[in-house]
Amino acid sequence: MITRDSSYYDIMALGLGGAKNYQEFVETMFADKYNAPQTDGFAWDEEIQIDFSYEQLQAELGIYAMATFVDIDSPGATHASTGATVSSGKIPRFKHQFVMNEKIIREQMILAQRFGSVTNSMQEQLARILFNDTDKLIGGNYNTLTYMRHQAVSNGSFAITSTNNPGGIANLSFAFGIPTANQAKAGGFGTLGTKYAWSSTSANPIGDLMDMVQYADDNFIPYGNFEMSKALWNTFRAHTNVKKAVAVGVNMNADLTSIGSMVFVDDVIKQYLLGIGLPPINVIDSLVAVEKYNAVTRAVDYTQIRPFDEAKVVLRPAGQIGTIKAVEPIVLQDPSARIAMFDGGRTKLTQTFDSKNVVQTIASELTALCVPSAPKYLIQLKTDEAAS
């Protein structure tokens, strides 16, 4: 009787190629591609936490506080080193995995027996499978962080629902404390914008943006740029009053009788807005996807989601406006598992072999949350409703 342990079926080990182990494979293949998440203004918090609790601290941006005038022999005033606690809670964990089933394993074993050894083409195929599965896991994690970031900035909150997390936990939300005064509907920040939703021809989208900037100036709120979704940008650039303003800005004698058919390229519109003193507009053209098993069709349905609220315009400070708080994963010594760490020790990637079901699994685990550190400096305009 021939005794065969799990290493006989561990064909994924062949996919490592010249790498000594899975850790070296991950570091070699993905260090450049995934050198940082796509979370503009949010960087990894330098501290990797050992528990799940977090505190959202309000950071102070803009002007440095002046020194204190004192008597010759008196000490100076001590500045606050941390801001006030805006919110607190538990950091959520997210996982996903890919499975290499018995069919793939058996096919590679048959080929190995047929040729008497593992060929270069077989090794290349296994390396490709290992790379693709690991790539999708890390990329999926980064898309999750991107979704969190855009929700936090555009909504001031992040909610885990059955829509964005089918098959997992739901009805869990995180509110990040954007002041009510910093949130308004169309025409609600001043007098240049009109109290009409942007879908109305009576709206004045440029006036709304100018009102947001004036509100920031009046309330000593530092700002660097606007953010809006690609869908809302398309609404903005196609609005009659926007096209009229740009046409006159480009040519004082422009004929506005055919304004409805005029089309301006994005650069011309953005240059005009800069010329009247507005900060740059960052158009968020981002999509994420979720998958859910459909019991009726017995197939997996993929649903695309736009992570940035399509009705919101946000005026935000330049630079860092938050951090990605993460919890250190627990790593147990398991001789049957192959483990690699990524994202500076925040993400755990694990290969395991299930001898009973004859499957190999590559799984990812990351416990993280994008937390704004400057919520009182975020200004939000809801464009699909008019201020009262």
238-294: pLDDT as tens digits: 999 999 999 999 887 777 888 878 889 999 999 999 999 999 999 999 988 888 878
Query: How confident is the model over 121-149, as pLDDT tens digits?
Result: 666 777 777 888 889 999 999 999 999 99
Burial grade of 227 (CB within 10 A; 0-12, 13-18, 19 or more) = buried
Secondary structure E strands in 308-346 = 312-316, 322-327, 338-342
Question: What is the arithmetic mean of pLDDT over 331-351?
Answer: 88
Query: Do the Cβ atoms of 317 and 377 come closer than 8 Å?
Result: yes
CB 249 within 8 A of CB 243: no
The pLDDT-based confidence of 5 (bands split at 50, 70, 90) is very low
Closest alpha carbon to 316 in 233, 376, 231: 376
Higher pLDDT, 363 or 182: 182
Instruction: Give the 3-state secondary structure percentages of the chain, helix then strand then coil, rounded to 5.
Output: 30, 30, 40
Whether the Cβ atoms of residue 368 and residue 142 lie closer than 8 Å to each other? no
Distances (CA, A) of 42 to 27, 93, 328, 366: 23, 18, 19, 17
The total number of residues written for the chain in this structure: 388
Question: DSSP labels for 366-383?
Answer: EEEEEEES-GGG-EEEEE
